[in-house]
Structure 1
């Protein structure tokens, strides 16, 4: 069965790169959301995993994560953060969050599938 991945990122070019990689190279079904609120709506359809941008206008990734984990319908969906923030202090903060992993931006599209699969345990 194909995996279903939700990408929540307010940058369309990043959505397109990730979607292209995951659909064409891994054969996964990919949904995209351009805002935190849109991401929360799509998450209620139970994707197998969520790639969540930390820095978004309006509702940021931390607020989206908090809302996902507070909702019984979405709290068990694994979340991987996409972020350019990879200082030691940021990583220490991320380590305390209920997430499956962190993928650093900019990422290598060739390695992305393996990074996503490993983070989600697929």
Structure 2
């Protein structure tokens, strides 16, 4: 079993000028055998595809379309294998980061994850 920490970015399809942008930091536990992947690029692509299926697209209170997509994998680490999960990818933690509208994924990484260097060892 592994824990996967990801940064998820919202996109609002709006004609108005937005003042803020939302990001979400989330941690998922997974029962998928991540050790079976040979290259970090394959592993990244697989995780992002799995998690993007779960990300909602909806209309907000202003009638604008809001979409969420995984922007970066922050970290992957092994954890206790004695847990039983109801799903293969199960979210256990989440926090929202409200940032100025012009903030990029790289800006969030620099501000909150200064030691970010994820790659499969």
Shorter chain as denominator, the TM-score bin is under 0.3
Instruction: Output the TM-score relative to the length of structure 1.
Output: 0.24
Instruction: Output the TM-score relative to the length of structure 2.
Output: 0.24
Higher strand share: 2
Higher Cα Rg, which structure: 2
Higher helix share: 1
Q: RCO greater where, 1 or 2, for CA within 8 Å and sep 6 or more?
A: 2
